[in-house]
A = this chain, B = another copy of it.
Amino acid sequence: MLSLILAESSLELVPKEIQNHNSVISHSKKLGKKPSEIILDNSWHFGAMKGILNEIKRGRPDLVHFSLLEATSIPLYYEKKISIYVHTINDKVIFIGDDVRLPKSYHRFIGLIEKLFSEKVVQSEGKNLLEIKDMTFNQLLQEIKPKRIIGLSVQGIPSTCENIVKKLTDDSCIVIGGFPKGHFSNEIKKRFEYTVNVGLTSLEAHVVISRILYEYEKTIFM
């Protein structure tokens, strides 16, 4: 099955070192949760995030939300022709079940992810919808064992979604950055067999995902 990894994704709980910051405390109070239980979001925690390590890649769960909605709102997913993984910037991996309807409402999505971080698994009728594990990108690849790994990056060779899809077999893995700015770390980059860049301008992850999966879907269903 085709795999999609959203890598180094901007999704994490508020880290310890800023849990005492005013913006975090007031936001967590509003939510009725502890600072350690809420997802880092730069639109609420901007002040607290100044100067933290890898700042530009962090605190954007909205991007992960959009990207997952793109990937899980399409026939390719409904027909179980794709496996979806979120690798986070802190080396956790979220396994997305094959029959999940993610909430479109942002605060419900965040509530679900906070529950996942706390309970490690979200089930419905005895089936895992979401599961989170401590796992590096490389460990995830060891589990998926894809034959071909294609990374999407503005640093890659210019191509089109149609041409990229020609390289895909059903045991390939597409890797897209789940962060707003910056590039893949070297540890991830070096695993790519091909690194390609779609579009003349830099495109957002959710746009790239929707286009590549749509082109791939055409090769399967049409």
Contact = CB atoms under 8 A, between A and B. Distances in A.
- Chain A: interface secondary structure? helix
Given A43-B108, A107-B43, A207 B62 contact: no
Contacts of A78: 201
B221 A104 contact: no
A185 B26 CA distance: 45
Chain copies in the assembled complex:
2
Interface string A101-112: 000111110000
22 contacts: A30-B30, A41-B105, A43-B105, A43-B107, A43-B108, A60-B104, A62-B104, A62-B105, A62-B106, A66-B69, A66-B104, A69-B206, A73-B204, A73-B206, A73-B207, A74-B203, A75-B201, A78-B201, A105-B106, A160-B222, A207-B210, A210-B214
Interface of A: 30, 41, 43, 60, 62-63, 66, 69-70, 73-75, 78, 104-108, 160, 199-201, 203-204, 206-207, 210-211, 214, 221-222
